[in-house]
Amino acid sequence: MVKESTLEKLKILADAAKYDVSCASSGTTRGNPNKTLGTAAGWGICHSFTADGRCISLFKILMTNHCIYDCAYCSNRRSNDLKRVAFSPAELAELTIEFYRRNYIEGLFLSSGVIRNPDYTMEQMISVVKKLREEHRFNGYIHMKSIPGASQKLVNIAGMYVDRLSVNIEIPTEESLKKLAPEKDYLSVWKPMKYIKQGILENTEDRKKFRKTPRFVPAGQSTQMIVGATPETDNQILTLASKLYNIDSMKRVYYSGYIHINQNDDRLPALKQPPLVREHRLYQADWLLRFYNFQVNEIVNDANPELDLEVDPKVSWALRHPEFFPIDVNTAPYEAILRIPGVGVLSAKKIITARRYGRLTSYQLQKIGVVMKRAKYFIVCRELPVSTVNEVSPETIRKQLIDEKIKEKDRFQLSFTFD
Amino acid sequence: MTAFTYDKSFEGLLCCVFYAFEQQVTPDILLHSDDVKPLFLEKSFPIVTESEKSARVWSALEKKISPSACHMLMLVWISELPEVDLLLFRYIYKAFKSTESIELNFGDADVLACANIYKKVNQSCHKAIQFVRFQKTSDGVFFAPISPDYNVLLLVAKHFSNRYADQPWIIYDTKRNYGLYYNLHKTTEITFSESPVDNSGKLKAEQLDSEEQLYQQMWKDYFKTMAIKERINLKLQRQHMPVRYWKYLTEMQ
């Protein structure tokens, strides 16, 4: 039975959980052969979008906002004066089920403040997911945070129930982490990450021997970094991200523009607005790493430690390498076509298949979905009167391509007042 | 100008293709048998729908193009867009005429147009899957009204009967006035004589389960709480969740 008190807890613990960016429900496809409740769609389903434009896919919630730590960037830190509440495992499991049955959500994203010690907290969280899987026979998606410092045994147990496990790095260098969260260290983050990785590897081996072995964390792991709270450059952030992607099971690194929650802490910059444009550029760079075969040092390096905020990282790279262009879309290999600004993965694939039937014109490119406004300076196709980056200077083109929307977005963000 | 007149069914369309190959004539427009004929019509051929002929065309088509292309053609037909039949006619005609597969020739206007309509119908399916909101009724059935852009209810039925295998549900298309009822064993088509919901898609309070309104309230509060006020971006919200879907969304009411 739900009670009115649940409503209050829900508000407090949702409010405390909302700063975690990860929301993806992708990575696992699972039918429902036993005719219980729930499936998982490999492509992920967003069920709603909040006023900030972020999606609600999973029911993102904290077990409790009690916390033994005092991290400068966190709203739940010990020294903040706020009402502390906790869900009982049964209560939270029931709420998840009822939300799921109404098609509000795709599954549960369970996180928690740390009570008593990391292992105790993990045990509490495991009892929620265990209840869901065993008592409610819930077959939908579950993403659980692994508490930094939790033991390998508990990580292994959790991994048998959930689709995704994640540990947040939060701060891109250990030095800054020490400053903002003196009670934490990188080891407590790396260790669970390693446990998850090991668990997945062992499970893959077991599954080769016994096909029926249940899967361990089938959707892999993810992590998150706060951007703009500490002085790290984009170079440092993206280099760390690309190292993380070397871990096979690491599916996503999320970037979270720092929001100045704790007003009275002088270790943190007093930003009026979260660095949304920078965050956006980091995600674009992240995409270049994952889907466009870019190496991290091509995007940022010692000479260019920060991403260009006015143009996207692909344009920025292209303008630094005019010698790579123009690309002939009718002959160039896929890898080269991917590097043309304005051409995405889908349109690149379409170009490759469509050009077998005949030489492509700029009109056809446009129809295929290529953003000609950007692409026209970097390509040749059958006919195209525009001068390319080599005839016009990179500086001139840069001026043409400055993202008007970014300016608009800023204006939009400032003018709005929240009720 | 040459016209074919037929009964505007999918089988009928396939018979048009049959006729075109048999008589070596292609239409410039496709009309319903009862349509008023336009001026300047030189020739008009009435096409009779025969299931034997349409089956022959379809099975030949299945050999000629891939299963995913067949699926695409079905969804393009479901779009019910004006003149979509002529587009499909040209696509199928070209597919038969061509010695190699035309499926990936996105340089061809018809192939690209089909791909784009397919994308739209697919998106409409996806939106239905995202934005269905069930209300639990006092007899334990979960009820959801929808009004999708395209007639996609049957296409998404399987997703819901898989996912909610252990709960009876009804999804009702208020725009086209029919729905699907899943009774834990099978899904059947149903029609209500009068709309079971009010304009905002709500069932009457006495029809609801005693806890339903509390859960709706919780969901609304949860939804409101999740927005980060420093990041408000209503344009982005509307982009992902177009306003026309709001009327049946619990959290937007």
Half-sphere exposure of A15 (CA within 13 A, CB side): 18
Q: Residue A355 pLDDT > 50, yes or no?
A: yes
Judge whether A54 is closer than 8 Å to chain B, CB to CB: yes
- Calculate mean pLDDT across residues A180-189: 87
> Are residues B243 and B170 located together in one domain of the fold?
yes
The alpha-carbon gap from A402 to the nearest alpha carbon of chain B, in Å, equals: 20
Nearest-Å Rg of the Cα atoms of chain A is: 24
Amino acid at A286: D
Judge: A2–B218 Cβ closer than 8 Å, yes or no.
yes
| Residue located via tokens 């966190």 | A74
What is the C-alpha to C-alpha distance for residues A106 and A43, in angstroms, rounded to an integer?
12
- Calculate mean pLDDT across residues A163-189: 89
Residue A33 or B215, more confident = B215
- Which CATH code fits A4-299? 3.20.20.70
The alpha-carbon gap from B249 to the nearest alpha carbon of chain A, in Å, equals: 9
Contacts of A51 in chain B (CB under 8 A): 227, 232-234, 237
Which residue of chain B has the CA closest to A102? Answer: B134
The domain containing residue B75 runs over which residues?
2-123
Residue A59 three-state SS: strand
What secondary structure does DSSP assign to A175-203, as a single string? HHHHHH-TT--HHHHHHHHHHHHHHHHHH
Where along chain A do its domains lie? 4-299, 313-402
Cα–Cα nearest to A178, from A130, A230, A213: A230
What is the C-alpha to C-alpha distance for residues A211 and A203, in angstroms, rounded to an integer?
11
Q: Residue A131 pLDDT > 80, yes or no?
A: yes
The encoded tokens of residue B82 equal: 């004006």
Q: Among B123, B156, B191, where does a domain finish?
A: B123
In the structure, what pLDDT confidence band is assigned to residue A413 with cuts at 50, 70 and 90? very low
Cα distances (Å, whole numbers) of residue B226 to A58, A294, B231? 12, 34, 11
Cα–Cα nearest to A66, from A109, A114, A111: A114
- Calculate mean pLDDT across residues A172-196: 89
Phi (first) and psi of residue A292, to 5 degrees:
-115, 15
Q: Prior bond to A326 cis, omega within 30?
A: yes
| Residue located via tokens 């959801």 | B144
Amino acid at B103: E
> Are residues B24 and B92 located together in one domain of the fold?
yes
What is the C-alpha to C-alpha distance for residues A232 and A252, in angstroms, rounded to an integer?
20
Pick the range with the lowest mean pLDDT from A2-11, A185-194, A278-287. A2-11
Picking from B100, B226, B235, B249 by the largest number of A CB atoms within 10 A of its own CB, the best residue to mutate is: B226
Judge: A10–B221 Cβ closer than 8 Å, yes or no.
yes
Q: Residue A412 pLDDT > 90, yes or no?
A: no
Q: What is the ipTM of this complex?
A: 0.89
Q: Report residues of chain B scoring pLDDT below 50.
A: none
Half-sphere exposure of A341 (CA within 13 A, CB side): 28
What is the C-alpha to C-alpha distance for residues B163 and A138, in angstroms, rounded to an integer?
10
pLDDT of residue B76: 95
Q: Residue A409 pLDDT > 90, yes or no?
A: no
Judge: B239–A409 Cβ closer than 8 Å, yes or no.
no
Please, what sign has the CA dihedral across residues B118, B120, B121, B124? positive
Residue A416 β-bridge partners:
none
Picking from B106, B183, B217, B232 by the largest number of A CB atoms within 10 A of its own CB, the best residue to mutate is: B106
Averaged confidence pLDDT in chain A = 88
pLDDT of residue A414: 40
Residue A104 three-state SS: coil
Q: Among B105, B123, B141, where does a domain finish?
A: B123
Cα distances (Å, whole numbers) of residue B79 to A170, B139, B210? 46, 35, 39
Pick the range with the lowest mean pLDDT from A190-194, A370-374, A393-397. A393-397
Judge: A45–B129 Cβ closer than 8 Å, yes or no.
yes
Amino acid at B9: S
Nearest to A102 among B133, B229, B234 (CB): B133
Phi (first) and psi of residue A341, to 5 degrees:
-60, 140
Question: A225, A237 in Cβ contact below 8 A?
Answer: yes
Cα–Cα nearest to A111, from A161, A56, A187, A167: A167
The DSSP letter of residue A138 is: B
The encoded tokens of residue B9 equal: 């069914």
Q: Among B106, B123, B140, where does a domain finish?
A: B123
Burial status of residue A119 (CB atoms within 10 A of its CB: 0-12, 13-18, 19 or more): middle
Taking only residues 276 to 305 of chain A, the set having a beta carbon closer than 8 angstroms to any beta carbon of chain B reads 276
What is the C-alpha to C-alpha distance for residues B67 and A371, in angstroms, rounded to an integer?
31
The structural domain count of chain B equals 2
Pick the range with the lowest mean pLDDT from A11-25, A122-136, A237-251. A11-25
In the structure, what pLDDT confidence band is assigned to residue A416 with cuts at 50, 70 and 90? very low
Question: B10, B53 in Cβ contact below 8 A?
Answer: no
In the structure, what pLDDT confidence band is assigned to residue A263 with cuts at 50, 70 and 90? confident
pLDDT of residue A407: 55
> Are residues B100 and B177 located together in one domain of the fold?
no
What is the C-alpha to C-alpha distance for residues A390 and B67, in angstroms, rounded to an integer?
45
SS (H, E, C) B6-28: ECCCHHHHHHHHHHHHHHCCCCC
In the structure, what pLDDT confidence band is assigned to residue A261 with cuts at 50, 70 and 90? confident
> Are residues B207 and B148 located together in one domain of the fold?
yes
A170 conformational bin, left if phi > 0, alpha if psi -120 to 50, beta if neither: left
Question: B187, B164 in Cβ contact below 8 A?
Answer: no
In the structure, what pLDDT confidence band is assigned to residue A91 with cuts at 50, 70 and 90? very high
The encoded tokens of residue A415 equal: 């003018």
Contacts of B99 in chain A (CB under 8 A): none
pLDDT of residue A401: 84
pTM of the model as a whole: 0.88
Amino acid at A103: N
Q: Residue A403 pLDDT > 90, yes or no?
A: no
Cα distances (Å, whole numbers) of residue A389 to A103, A337, A378, A398, B173? 50, 16, 6, 10, 53
Residue A382 three-state SS: coil
> Are residues B216 and B167 located together in one domain of the fold?
yes
Which residue of chain B has the CA closest to A418? Answer: B229
The encoded tokens of residue A221 equal: 């792991």
Largest CA distance in chain A: 72
> Are residues B106 and B169 located together in one domain of the fold?
no
Phi (first) and psi of residue A328, to 5 degrees:
-90, 110
In the structure, what pLDDT confidence band is assigned to residue A368 with cuts at 50, 70 and 90? confident
Q: Residue A78 pLDDT > 50, yes or no?
A: yes
> Are residues B112 and B146 located together in one domain of the fold?
no
Contacts of B229 in chain A (CB under 8 A): 52, 418
